[in-house]
Amino acid sequence: MKSGFASFLSILALALLSNGAAGQTLTATDIVRKADEKFNGEKSSYSVMSMTIVRPSWQRTIEIKSWSLGRDYALALITSPAKEAGQTFLKRNSEMWSWNPAINRLIKLPPSMMSQGWMGSDYTNDDILRESSVVNDYSHEIEGEEVIAGRLCYKIRMNAKENASIVWGKQVRWIDKKEFLVMKVELYDEDGYLVRTETGSDIKTMDGRTVTSKIRLVPQDEPENSTIIEIKEIKFNLPLEEGFFSQQNMKRVR
């Protein structure tokens, strides 16, 4: 549950948790690192998911297939609804492109489009591109423990380091003590204002891993709005190479 294209479009590339820390006292940074490794501990991943955009008078669901390689490469294919089917999005390092077969046009996203919602959702293109390291770009402090959705969690405050180039000035994360699943995140801007809240639910076993298969994002200034991601399928460590994540493959991937 973090912002960033690789995490958003392959949201639950979750590694098995090592038992090496069992019985040891964990620092706040240890806890954040172990939770982060559940998202980023695999070389590559493939996922099938839906994204439901909820508004007061309407809602719509987009079906997505996505592939990722580490943090730097990601490719997403819209499979439904029919109007958007076939559109693809590519991230390579700090650059992002979109391909629309209906108009046969490849677009590199300029800075002016960074604040726009991705596919009309509450995730922005800026979230997608400016992926930060929750381990290296923040300081961490355990504030206590709280029960979230029936699971006892560490409550950890994360303050951005002075020279970090990041979207969020502060985060508060609730991390399950047993499985190190991120159950809730509050995201604050650089002035300390709460911008949005994300919650994880529907814990399932997928490809042998314990995952939160649903993530709900709610913007603080529009609490009647939300974006809900539901993971339907996940596979890990596919034989993907950097060449898969190309502009040419954007036009032919299915």
CATH assignment at residue 9: 2.50.20.10
pLDDT higher than threshold 70 for residue 73: yes
pLDDT tens, residue by residue, 52-72: 999 999 999 999 999 988 878
**Is the backbone peptide bond immediately before 56 cis, with ω within 30 degrees of 0?**
no
Name beta bridge partners: 155: 144, 174
User: Residue 81: what pLDDT?
Assistant: 95
Q: pLDDT for 116-171, tens place per residue?
A: 788 889 987 766 665 667 888 899 999 999 999 999 999 999 999 988 777 789 99
Number of domains making up the chain:
1
Q: What pLDDT is recorded for position 128?
A: 64
pTM of the entire predicted model: 0.84
Of the listed ranges 9-13, 190-194, 222-226, the one predicted with least confidence: 9-13
Q: How far apart are CA 104 and CA 102, in angstroms?
A: 6
Helix %, strand %, coil % of the chain (to 5) = 15, 45, 40
Quick one: which H or E segment has residue 213? strand 209-219
200: pLDDT confidence band, cut at 50, 70 and 90?
Answer: very high
Among candidate residues 68, 60, 19, the one with its CA nearest the CA of residue 39: 68
From the list 87, 46, 75, 10, the residue with the least C-alpha distance to 244 is 75
Hey, is 86 helix, strand or coil? coil
Q: How many CB atoms lie within 10 A of CB 144?
A: 9
Q: Which domain holds residue 186?
A: 5-250
Do 76 and 64 meet the contact criterion of CB atoms below 8 Å apart?
Answer: yes
pLDDT score of 114 more than 90: no
Average model confidence (pLDDT) across the chain: 85
